[in-house]
Every structure is written in C-alpha cells, then in structure tokens.
C-alpha cells in the first residue's frame, strides 16, 4: 500500500458542461485535491472533449491543481498551450508519440510536473527508461475515450508492477477508469495514491452529493485491506 498522501481527482469529463465553472467550484468545495481535466481529440481516442481555451476560461474557479490528461496525438505541439492555460500536471500517453523522453523534457521546460499514462494493453515495462523523468504514473483501468466504463480488474496487477517500478522515488501513482468507493480499497492496496473518478462523483450532477462521494472514496482508499 502506498505511503504517499491519498489524492482524489474528480474528472470534469462527467461534469455538466453548461455550467462547467460552477461544477469545478463545487468539487473544490466538496474536498477535491486535484481537478482532473480529460482532453480528447477524436483521433487518439474516439471522442472529443475540449481544448486549452475552454480550460483557461475555467481556471479562475479554483486554486486546486489542474491534473491535465492529454489523450491526443500528436501531443508535443499542444504542451505549451495547455501549460499557459493553467495546467499544473501534464500527463501524456506513452502510446501517443515516438519520442516520449523528448515530450517529457518539453513539459518540464514549461515548468510543469510531468506524467505518463499507459493504456490497458501497454506494459509497465514501457516506462523503465523514463521513470526518473516523471512525477506521476497513470495506469488506465479502462480504455480511454469515454466516461462511465467499468474497472478492468487486470489493472490491479499493473498497479502493483508500477508501484514496484516507482520504488522509493517521489512519484505519484494514479489510476483512471471505473473508480468507486467499492474498489478504492483494493486499488490503494495495489499502491495507488491518486484516484480519478468521474461518474461516481459527478453522476446526477447534484453538488449536494459531491462531498459525501469524495469522502467515501477517500475513506475507502485510506483503509488498509485485512
């Protein structure tokens, strides 16, 4: 189990886009640690979300870190724009380009924390040669592109492998896809400390429900399995 602080990162992909700023302010007030921003291009993944201009327009609604997950390819031409739009952490996919090390250098050059995501079919070993160049490792527990999918159980094995690869390095281990209060304990036991949750927090888009849902995931993740 991780010794790093548990962080809950609600995904605004499940927010009500007609009042996106208010939805971000609501999860901030409800106890979110990060604001997870899923950026999709309709090319790398089969869906389109939004770009840096939209992100910049809602940056003022919170001071919490923007955890920006770029599901786009090519990714390098857009790093500076998302950095300028208010990203604090920029995560790119290992599968999105041929020069991952160069991409990570570009993120660091913008003064941002650098993350790498791996899809369900990508082995953790793909990150062995860049592990010392990242601040966050994101294991996808669904195939990226859509919210509301079910957690892939094999992700638990990958999380354990990723946790072992990280070792004592100051790197956050994040999971994204199908996270609920029901599986957060097993995920934390596998070494994860940053939990992305979309529909399990934003479902129904009633701000009154956000705080208890965030608390339920945090409490479950903080409780060691017997």
Catalytic residue among 38, 67, 135, 172: 38
CB atoms within 10 A of CB 199: 16
Q: In what order do the strands lie in the sheet with 194-197?
A: 7-10, 194-197, 172-176, 136-140, 113-118, 89-93, 66-71, 35-40
Closest Cα partner for 174 from 86, 77, 54, 90?
Answer: 90
- Residue 176 a catalytic site member: yes
Catalytic residue among 41, 67, 176, 189: 176
- Residue 76 a catalytic site member: no
Q: Which parts of 66-110 are beta strand (E)?
A: 66-71, 89-93
Closest Cα partner for 175 from 39, 9, 28, 15?
Answer: 9
Catalytic positions: 38, 176
């Amino acid at each position: 189990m991780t010794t790093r602080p548990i962080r809950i990162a609600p995904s605004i992909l499940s927010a009500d886009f007609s009042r996106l700023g208010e939805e971000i302010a609501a999860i901030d007030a409800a106890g979110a640690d990060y604001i997870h921003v899923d950026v999709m291009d309709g090319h790398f993944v089969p869906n389109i979300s939004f770009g840096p201009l939209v992100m910049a327009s809602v940056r003022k609604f919170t001071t919490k870190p923007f955890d920006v997950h770029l599901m786009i390819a090519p990714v390098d031409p857009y790093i500076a724009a998302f950095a300028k739009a208010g990203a604090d952490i920029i995560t790119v996919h290992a599968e999105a380009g041929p020069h991952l090390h160069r991409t990570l250098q570009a993120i660091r050059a913008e003064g941002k924390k650098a993350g790498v995501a791996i899809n369900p079919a990508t082995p953790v070993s793909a990150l062995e040669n860049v592990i010392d160049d990242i601040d966050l490792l994101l294991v996808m527990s669904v195939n990226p592109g859509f919210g509301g999918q079910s957690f892939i159980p094999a992700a638990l094995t990958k999380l354990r492998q990723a946790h072992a690869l990280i070792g004592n390095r100051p790197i956050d281990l994040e999971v994204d896809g199908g996270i609920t209060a029901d599986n957060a304990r097993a995920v934390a036991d596998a070494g994860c400390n940053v939990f992305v949750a979309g529909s399990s927090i934003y479902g129904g888009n009633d701000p009154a429900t956000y705080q208890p849902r965030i608390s339920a995931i945090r409490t479950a993740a903080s409780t060691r399995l017997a």
